[in-house]
Amino acid sequence: MSAMKDIFAIHQSEYEASPDCASAAPALVKILGEHTDFTDGLVLAACLSFEVKVAVSFRKDNSLRFHAADFNERKRANIATLKYKREDRWANHIKSICDYFWRTFDLEPKGLNVTIQSTVPLGLGLGISTALNMATAYIFKTLYNLDLKQDELAFHAWKAQSTFFEKELAITNYLGITAPAGRSFSVIDLRLKKRRGIQFLPEPWEMLLTDSKVPRASVDAELEQRTADCNTCLSVLTPSRNRSIREIAPRELDELLGIVPERKRRRCLHVLEEVRRVSEAEEALSRQDYVNFGRVVNKSHASLRSLYEISCPEIDWLTKRALELDGVLCSRLVGQGFGGSTLTILKSEEKEAYLHRLEEYERIFGFRPIVHEVSTGAGLHILDH
């Protein structure tokens, strides 16, 4: 299987050329604040041990060749006609970096051979496309010797995507991926567009990501509706739009009773409280108060279920059953919702008991969950041959 092979060997076999540079970028899980992007919110995130790897070698012509090793897929493009094409799917992400960096930094465009390899599970909202973009941007920084700090690199990779796809994307994942290697969390302030680090839980605490395997269609329309609901509340509370949701006090939402539908008020309340929960979690971690940190994370899931309404019976069952175990600190939905996965932080010795409970899940719901043992990642880095 190609995912087990060395990316240098895959690239050599595909193009009969050794990579001029290869890099890796970690996946990212957002533990708190997932749905506060649109309101200059706060996000607590962690880089994971899953990685996207990219290898690049220069060509002698103006062609761009892309090879996704895990899917055995190939795409082609040309420097002269570098634009978004729907059928190019994943290759569009790399094209966006090429186009933006060549133009923005006045670099000489050159044909490229590109190989991609990933260990990131698909469909769980772990930022696989951002990791691909950041790994490619890091290669450009290295090959062209660009003097860019990590947060500057994140800004340019984010700008490249937003420009190429003609869509204003959130910068959250880009900043989160710049976290250094080691056991740490990131707090991402979307108003300042800055990331700050905070110590992760010490051993023996571990993270498990449980894929519920609940089938789902696109959830974009549902999530857009929730953003619109929050913005309705905001337009009533601050018509001039000179404040964001994070600046509103909960008591102000009480004033909306009878003015806006209760559903919209509930969803706005979730976002408002979620921003505050990130600050509470950061404070608890700084005091090494892990019990209170766990409480904050568990409250967040309850809010996602009851106020923001993006959970489902299967996810709620997974979190509830996990929390019945003494050695489990917290468990909550991560990702876009309506299925997807849970993140559970537990003591090492509780792992077997947790896995045993999942047998009951399959009997009840008919889906076989997949459990991924994850740790904090190695950060954004260049790969040695």
Choose among 385, 382, 384: nearest CA to 145: 382
CA distance 173 to 162: 13
What's the topology of domain 2-200+377-382?
A: Ribosomal Protein S5; domain 2 (3.30.230)
pLDDT tens digit sequence for 309-337: 999 999 999 999 999 999 999 999 999 99
Q: What are the boundaries of each domain within the chain?
A: 2-200+377-382
Write the DSSP symbol of residue 254.
H
Report pTM: 0.94
CA distance 214 to 212: 5
Q: 103-111, long-range: CB within 8 Å, 24+ apart, which pairs? A: 104/156, 105/144, 105/146, 107/140, 107/144, 109/62, 109/79, 110/58, 110/59, 110/79, 111/58, 111/59, 111/60, 111/61, 111/62, 111/63, 111/64, 111/79
* Strand 184-189, strand 42-58: pairing: antiparallel
- Sequence-distant (≥ 6) Cβ neighbours of residue 335 within 8 angstroms: 34, 124, 125, 126, 341
Q: What is the pLDDT along the chain (385 residues), one digit of tens a residue?
A: 334 579 999 999 999 999 999 999 999 999 999 999 888 999 999 999 999 999 999 999 999 999 999 999 999 999 998 999 999 999 999 999 999 999 999 999 999 999 999 999 998 999 999 999 999 999 999 999 999 999 999 999 999 999 999 998 999 999 999 999 988 999 999 999 999 999 988 878 999 999 999 998 789 999 999 999 999 999 999 888 888 888 898 889 988 888 999 999 999 999 999 999 999 999 999 999 999 999 999 999 999 999 999 999 999 999 999 999 999 999 999 999 999 999 999 999 999 999 999 999 999 999 999 999 999 988 999 999 8
